[in-house]
Structure 1
Amino acid sequence: MEMYDEEKSNDDVQEQSLADKFLKLFSELEECTEEGQKQKILELNKLIDEMNNEEFRYVFTKELFNKIDQMIEEDKLTMGNAILLLKHMGYCNALLNIKYFGFLYSSLKRRFREMIDDEEKKKEKRNEKLLTELCECYLLLNIGASSQLISVCVPCLLKAALKKDENEEAQKEVEMALLALSCIFSHYKIEKDLYLNEIKEIIQHHQGHRNLSRLAYQSAWSFLVFRYCKGFSSEIVIVNELHFIRDATKELEELSKSVDWKKKKEEMGETERKAMDIISRWIRSIYYYLKSCHLWNEEYVGLISRIVDVLRASRDNHSEIGEECIQSFEAAAENRAVKLDALLKSGAIDAALEEIPKSTLNERMTSEILRFFHLISMRFKGKGEVKTTEEERKELKRKIFKKMEEEGFEDIIISFYEKFRYIFANHNVFINL
């Protein structure tokens, strides 16, 4: 494992202390009884809740997962207790959208893959609860899975997610199953429209009964949008039957109200931190939708307006969410099915212009904003807007150019010329309206 430098700041020392505390407690598991292990794992799970991305990557290495595998092999850790730890680890990993590869290259991954295959082959004698938990761990911790394994995990997890019991424990299981499903992205090969009816039923039942947690509901949408948005027939279901744009707009608005954006994330309570994580997940789903969609209606303006609100609210203390907001504007600007007029009416162009002077110390944010305007520029250089006359196109171009002029876009470019010249050269950005 990577070692910490003695010269690091106080914050880094605290991070080291948390990581070391976890590893020390983990090392004591081998000496415990099964019940003692369970109690220590509950303590470990509390430590996981406090970790940030860097601490997560530091602790959950290939070596740690190999150690868990070895302990299972030598009967020093029960499978039930291993799953208790791994499910919580996977839950936090998926919620925080952490990218790490410890599990991917571990012997524990091979063990879980073989166990899933073996359990699936048992058919009517299979242990459904065990199979569900194995699938959850595998998808929540793994960056990539074979099509064969996906074909086992998806129906298993959808079956768990379709449960209508409203008690807290059952709904937690539903949330975990849907969160695991949301980790399956579009490049996984699943037959077109397969499982569409099941996820549609889950979303419609919630719309009528409000039975899912906010995270579970967002996860259901993530699975649906990532899987089916590129198909025109399924997009009609997403927009016209299930009302994705309406619900995404409403969820963003309600979640944003539950967050004190003036606080840094580490200063927030658990409820606020979770709300922020769900907001981030919604914006990533919306990004993918805006990038892939074919349909258009006026609800887009309201949806993008809510993202503008999040961008402005997150400006001071949560730049990572701000970057995701700008990326969603880019997706809209790049997709000719989305009218550029929506970016003007929603305030997206104003918000992006406001960000430029504030983001000059953040190269990534600046490059995202400049790319946004580059994409608008390319739209005007193309064949024009969908269902837009040449006269309307010219008028829209005039309005956008005037807005940029009013906000001093050209003056900003000149005043930060050296930095922008570097960004233009290194991020392939060119602005010419």
Structure 2
Amino acid sequence: MPFAIYLLGLAVFAQGTSEFMLSGLVPGIAQDLHVSIPAAGALTSAFAVGMVVGAPLMAVLSLRWPRRTALLVFLAVFMVVHIVGAVTTDFGVLLATRAIGALANAGFLAVGMATATSMVEPHAKGRVISVLLSGVTLACVAGVPAGALMGQLWGWRSAFWAVALICAPVLIAVVRSVPGPAPAVPEATARRHAEVPSARRELRALRRPRLLVILLLGALVNGATFCTFTYLLPLTTQVSGFQESWTPVLLALFGLGSFLGVTVAGRMSDNRPMRLLVPGGGALLAGWLLFAVAADSPVAALLLLFVQGTLSFAVGSTLITRAVYAASGAPTLAGSFATAAFNVGAALGPAAGGAAIDAGLGFRSPLWVSALLVALAFAVAGLAHAVRQARGGPGETSPVI
């Protein structure tokens, strides 16, 4: 595995820390900026919406750039908006920085995934994707708990400063370690006449029913993950009975599970996806239901945080891999399709969880919403399978949870 791929994973670690760290900072942000907890939770949704819009948009706009240049631009913007977020006293400005930072994150991840998968054999995409996603899971293990601890000791702004500081050495490392490949269409004349049609040709991959089903499944599964994870702090303190000082430990436990899940997916998603997706999806649904029932038990909460972290990321990262395979006709934009779909879930999940809390259903209610979203994934997969069978389509290796 080329060293540059691990470097890209390090950059994803910084960005993943930013995306997930609000789960330990929402109450502090709400109190400091005088908004409600569900309103502060909208910061997660704003980031996710930026990822949804930014993934395909930034990937298309950066087609004309050398990939190293695109990675540097996106990472620099990401660093700057976190500095702005760390100093602002206006919730609207903070919300805007989250959206802009997400655009930059989406662009970096889309270009980074295209860069990484181009460095290895075509049948090794799952292993490469697992390395990149391990940056996100390590953010859950180390970055997010550290951000929560910093928020407790020095306020939520310190976590934003930390993310900005992490980006600075990564910028230098990208310059030195990531090769500067040719633009997507190397010759200037060919680029002038063929690049826009090429982008359109890749976007046509979205017409494939198999790809659309996988993307929808990914959105639902990731929506379930973010629905609960965004409100993890009030859930564990108000329902499970943990002191707030336990938050870094709980986040790290979820992160350890997510790292294990991505590791398992990296070993199975290339050649044996169904052996993970079918039983893993069933266990994920059962786990959310059990968590909803047993959330008032600290022991059950500790166990299920680890289990659900493992299952959520094992199933989710496998779906990302299968989406990249299904979008084989879109080598540059395949990662952006998966990124956008999963962040549709990351936007809708917290919104649905926040709506349940606002409706007076309590901080346990996001767990029920998570279970509902995974159940919907089962329904979509079952319907897609029935339609394919009715049409007499050949057997496929596409995932059906």
Pick the structure with greater CA Rg: 1
Name which structure has the greater RCO, CA cutoff 8 Å, separation 6+.
Answer: 2
TM-score, normalised on structure 1?
0.26
